[in-house]
Structure 1
Amino acid sequence: MPAFVAPLVGFALGALLAWFSAAASHRPGALRAAEPRLASGAPDRPLALVSLFAVLVFAPVCAYFLVFAPDWSFAYLVDTRQIPSAVDLVLLLLDAASVPAGFVAAQRFAASAGGRPTAQRSIRALAVFAGAPLAIALIAVLALSRRLALDGTYRQVEGDFGVHPITGGPLGYALLWMHTMLAAGFAVTVSALLRREPPGGAQKGEPPAGPRPRAVPSAPPPAAEPPRPASTRPQRRLGLGKGGRSNRPG
């Protein structure tokens, strides 16, 4: 994407990810009425996921056009051969930092009013931190759309020779491929944010924590009866009388 709108787009994507991160995925209609979970002591996993998206997806997409189409990236307004390479590095770092910056800014704005953030406050934060940068970026792109529709170098565009439309050319296919990868990475990040473990370690589908039920005392087990002592009388054998004599007749 053009270098002059990449930080704005990254900031807006970060705000969008903050809104999706605030959605309670275990509740029906969460995407329609998101309620941010901004309790103190919340884990930093959402910010880590957003930072990975910025470093592994958004920054490489921006770096591709800075490296392989630098004149187009600056809309042929300047000759990029006269720009030091340190400027490209600073722009790349700014692009990578813009996504987490938008994420953190949208979260803090939603929690700034105090109390429990509501869906209305979340939508307001989304409009401020995502809608405004995207609107500015769209206006800039529309203003320079004629230049951005050309594939060539700075000298070719200024001299009006050897240029051709980006559609059907290598730059057009690169734009299509890179933006597809950006959309896929954004979708994967949103899915990871919605499926993450809720704060406090509670798993999805578990009942809400509440007071523990009182333990009902159980009846004591019945006391075991002591064994009866064996009889001390000698056992009589069949057919024998006292003293061991036989009591059979004859």
Structure 2
Amino acid sequence: MRSLSAWAIFAGFLLLPLSAYFYLFHGDWFLLYRIDVSVIPSAVALPVFIFEFALGALGYFLSASLIRRKKSEIASLLLAVVSALVFAPIIFFRRELAVVGTYRQFHRGYGLEEFQESALFPGSLFMGGVLIVAFAYLLIRLSIADRRYG
């Protein structure tokens, strides 16, 4: 149960706030210019963040169940598939990720800033670094908990 707490702290104090930050301040970019963030009611956004948390919890419980049943090969395969799905948008949506602007600017082709020159770039570097450090810490905590209680 301590490893679940470590994951919940990671998700609650880092993953969800990061998602909320990008949605609130760079929403059109965050949604890859697929939906105009100004037309999304806030009553819809909150359940999406709850779904994000629930999806992570489901992944945690599925992985924990596989590990407890000594099916670490399946858990590793699941991790590889999910990792590929996480990084796939970087490849498939590189045009959308390369520029920063509003939904309207993107679709009409004016006023866009290059990602590296935008205000989003330093924040993304910092938050990406924090996310990587926190994820590494989470993996270390889970490994320690597994050795201690497993």
Letter in 1 for 2:140: S
The reply on whether 1:57 has 2:24 as its aligned counterpart is no
Structure 2 CA distance for aligned equivalents of residues 131 and 76 of structure 1: 27
2:113 corresponding residue in structure 1? 164
Q: 1:140 aligns with which of 82, 89, 102?
A: 89
Question: In 2, distance between residues paired with 1:157 and 1:102?
Answer: 34
TM-score normalized with structure 1 length? 0.55
Distance 1:133-1:170 versus aligned 2 partners, 3 A rule: same
Q: TM-score, normalised by structure 2?
A: 0.88
Say if 1:51 and 1:99, in contact at 8 Å, map to a contact too.
Answer: no
How far the C-alpha of 1:56 sits from its partner, in A, is 0.8
Q: Distance in 1 between matches of 2:37 and 2:149?
A: 48
Deviation at 1:97, TM superposition (A): 2.5
Q: Which residue, out of 113, 126, 130, partners 2:76?
A: 126
Which structure has the bigger radius of gyration?
Answer: 1
RCO comparison, higher one (Cα < 8 Å, 6+): 2
Query: 1:184 offset after TM fit, Å?
Result: 1.5
Q: State how far apart, in whole Å, the 2-side matches of 1:182 and 1:146 are.
A: 23
Q: Which runs of 4+ in 1 moved over 6 A?
A: none
More helix by share: 2
| Structure 1 residue 125: Cα displacement | 1.1
Give structure 1 stretches of 5+ with no counterpart. 1-43, 201-250
Per the alignment, in what secondary structure is the counterpart of residue 198 of structure 1?
A: helix
CA RMSD of aligned residues (A): 1.9
Task: Extract unaligned runs of 5+ from structure 2.
Answer: none
Seq. identity, %: 28
How many residues matched? 149
